[in-house]
Amino acid sequence: MSVPTPSVTSGDNLRTTLEEGCAKNRWMQKLGELDWQSFFPHVASPSRTPIEQQLYWKLLHRRLPVNAYLKTKGNFVPNRGCVVCGEQVETIEHVFFECPNVQTFWKTFRIYMIKFLQMTEAELPEFTLRDTIFFFPELCKTLVPEELHVLTVCHSVALWAIWSMRSSANADVLLWPCFLSRLEARVFLEYENICKNGNISADKESINTFASRWCNDKSLVKLTTDGIIFSSS
């Protein structure tokens, strides 16, 4: 699958290439050496929706309209910084990792993934900027396909929730409930794609694949004869 990119004319191709190089250099200044091309299969993963792929592509290429980016383009920048903590220099790093509210979110996300993937805290250390932006490069190497699918969906939904909160310009938006609501919708959509009218009448292999991804003993998703339910715990 090709990497999702915005439509560009031939005259824009050079600019896009130069911006990609600049983005790579900026990330390497912060995180050290990166195997840049190895991340793009994760961007184009079928476990991400097209909208989620596009968001992730723009995040990696530092093309999301945070105020620090807009200033470099000479665009008008609204007189606002982070809607949550008030930080005036709104960078990609701040929005997706450094903001105190987002830091709290990632801590909760880690606990959630420890439970979902049935791992120990030692097996899933505290997240770093490299983990959250570049899709947990060390963890991914240890996961089976079903676990990688779950992590990809949850990571996609996490990025979507964080950006949605930022874009709402409303400090009262609660990030974790936003994430859970979106995740439930994504899992229901996956289920509905293999089941008609919410009944377990689809191909047994597809149902088993769904169950192996989302319905392990400690997960919050339960598969019943009436469909799927989410535990409140």
Instruction: Give residue-wise pLDDT tens across range 127-178.
Output: 999 999 999 999 999 999 999 999 999 999 999 999 998 887 665 668 999 9
Q: What was the pLDDT predicted at 213?
A: 86
CB distance 81 to 88 below 8 Å:
yes
Spatial distance between the Cα atoms of 36 and 124, rounded to a whole number of angstroms: 23
Burial class for 211, CB neighbours closer than 10 Å (0-12, 13-18, 19+): middle
Please report the DSSP string for 26-63 in residue order: HHHHHH----GGGGHHHHT-TTS-HHHHHHHHHHHTT-
Sign of CA dihedral 155, 158, 160, 166: negative
Whether 82 is covered by a domain: the verdict is yes
Core vs surface per residue 195-207: b (16+ CB within 10 A) or e: beeeebeeeeeeb
CB distance 132 to 94 below 8 Å:
no
Whether 46 is covered by a domain: the verdict is yes
Sign of CA dihedral 135, 161, 180, 215: negative
pTM to 2 decimals? Answer: 0.83
Residue 202 has pLDDT above 60, yes or no: no
Q: What was the pLDDT predicted at 80?
A: 64
Q: What was the pLDDT predicted at 186?
A: 92
Whether 2 is covered by a domain: the verdict is no
Residue 207 has pLDDT above 50, yes or no: yes
CB distance 50 to 11 below 8 Å:
no
Residue 28 has pLDDT above 70, yes or no: yes
Q: pLDDT by residue (tens digit) across 69-109?
A: 777 766 666 666 787 788 878 889 999 999 999 999 999 99
Residue 13 has pLDDT above 60, yes or no: no
Which domain, by its residues, includes 160?
A: 10-230
Top mean pLDDT of 83-97, 114-128, 202-216 is at: 114-128
Domain count, the chain: 1
Burial class for 106, CB neighbours closer than 10 Å (0-12, 13-18, 19+): buried
